[in-house]
Amino acid sequence: MTSLHVDDHGHVRILRLSRPERRNAIDQALADELSAAFEELEADRAVRVAVLTGDGGYFSAGTDLTSTAPPRTDGGPYGFLARVRRKPLIAAVEGFALGGGFECVLACDLVVASREARFGLPEVKRGLVANSGALFRAPARLPLTLATEMLLTGDPISAERAHHHGLVNELSEPGEALTAALALADRIVVNSPDAVQGSLHAISAEIAEREQRGWQLTHAADDENATSPDRAEGVRAFLEKRPPEWA
């Protein structure tokens, strides 16, 4: 059974995370579906813009902590976070985008969010480090002090605050994020596909060069964290729905 629903609206492709019973948390199967979907997206000349969203009234809770290993593919975490893309990707966020869900948002080119949406990086509350781009992308997209607050407290911020600091391009009324994202996509679709793709590829390639050091430092932090007893206790406490007892 597929966990990713794909629909085309003219030249716009909607990629909808659909594991509502797991709050759209991403496991290896969904990461593999996302990887394949992004390969198809780049190859299909009829598709000019993609919108990433989630089912069930929320975006994604990030990594499925019941997974035996972090969901990764050749496209990087979650199948696409390390890809250099030529076609614009818009996040349409309802509810919450937490942990890896927020890291998916940070990998998008544009962001539309409901006024009631929340963005957060709760990894430290689970004894983990954010290992899918947030350690360098959050400080690049937000003021350093705000990104540091999110990474060290694990507390979420509102869509209004994210919009004020430039992370969110447009705010929508609750339930209207996808509609607003499609309207934004339509503003891109009317332009030259070659010019749009060439412009985005130049932006993405330059960013990817800058991010290489960030990925190296993230992998080092994650490797160090892998042997911490806090990591095992944090995940166990989360699954058992109790406060962690740090060593």
For tokens 């509502």, name the residue.
Answer: 20
**Residue 54 backbone phi and psi in degrees, to 5:** -135, 155
- Annotation says 206 is catalytic: no
The helix (run of H) or strand (run of E) holding residue 207 is: helix 193-226
Would you say the pTM of this structure is higher than 0.85? yes
Span 188-192, average pLDDT: 98
Whole-number average pLDDT of the chain: 95
Give pLDDT, residue 211: 96
Span 102-118, average pLDDT: 98
Give pLDDT, residue 1: 73
Would the pLDDT of 130 be above 80? yes
| Share of residues in the chain with pLDDT > 90 (%) | 92
Residues 6+ apart with CB under 8 A from 203: 109
Structure tokens at 170: 């447009």
Candidates 103, 176, 206, 240; catalytic one: 103
Candidates 33, 94, 116, 123; catalytic one: 123
Domain 4-174+184-189: give its CATH code.
3.90.226.10
CA nearest to 44, candidates 8, 84, 89: 8
Report how far residue 81's alpha carbon sits from residue 94's, in angstroms, rounded to the nearest whole number.
20
Every domain of the chain and the residues it spans: 4-174+184-189
CA nearest to 232, candidates 143, 126, 154, 87: 126
Report how far residue 35's alpha carbon sits from residue 79's, in angstroms, rounded to the nearest whole number.
4
Report how far residue 221's alpha carbon sits from residue 133's, in angstroms, rounded to the nearest whole number.
12
CA 169 to chain centre: 15
pLDDT digits (tens, 9 = 90+) for 141-164: 999 999 999 999 999 999 999 999
- Annotation says 103 is catalytic: yes
CA nearest to 156, candidates 214, 102, 104, 201: 102
CA nearest to 120, candidates 81, 149, 144, 77: 149
